[in-house]
Amino acid sequence: MPDDGWDGILDTGETVLWQGQPDPAPDWSEFRVKDALFGLVYSGVALFWIAAALGQVPGSSFMGIVLPLFGLPFLLVGLRKAGADIFWHAYMRRHTWYSLTNRRAFVATDLFGRKQLDAYPINPGTVLDLDDGQPGHIWFATDFIKTSQGSRRRRIGFTHLSDSRTVYNLMRQMQRDLT
């Protein structure tokens, strides 16, 4: 019988081997000072636009409300360039959970009340890549996401783990047990 919460999800004979959560701390490894400075200036110009537009149209007319809103996309782009993605990714990790069974790897998210559970089979042919750092990452699947230029490959795995080598060894043992 599956552990509590796994009824209807796990197959017969499937058991949970490990559960964990990524480190929710901001990951500053991708922070670039030059990008952050550009983003702050860009955001400042957007804020100036919004403030100026608020003062241009008197009263509560339609244009007095709509005109400042044209600055919001520029503000968001500037904040993203300034490093807001670092905090967004930390927020996403805080709402992500990982599980490993003797057959599959699960990635569960709960963002703004939208729950999602993705399962990835782990078998002897699954390529496992370990980025052994602190925190570490284990990659075990890929998918493609659409972009304006077509699509790009995205790696899927257990990221930002403090015990990545232990989990990786558990996955390798699981693969050996399946042969």
Tally of structural domains, the chain: 2
Alpha helices (H) along 6-71: 33-56, 62-69
Q: Over 50: is that where the pLDDT of 174 sits?
A: yes
Q: Which residue has the higher pLDDT, 18 or 7?
A: 18
Q: CA 6 to CA 92: how far, in whole Å?
A: 22
pTM, two decimal places? 0.74
Q: Residue 67's domain spans which residues? A: 29-90
Which amino acid is it at 154? R
Query: Closest by alpha carbon to 29, among 175, 172, 159, 176?
Result: 159
Statement to judge: residues 68 and 105 lie in one domain: no
DSSP label at residue 134: S
Once rounded to an integer, what is the mean pLDDT over residues 72-93?
Answer: 86
pLDDT tens column, 4-13: 667 788 888 8
Distance of CA 142 to the CA centre of its chain: 14
In a domain, 8, yes or no: no
Token readout for 53 is 């537009």
Q: Over 60: is that where the pLDDT of 163 sits?
A: yes
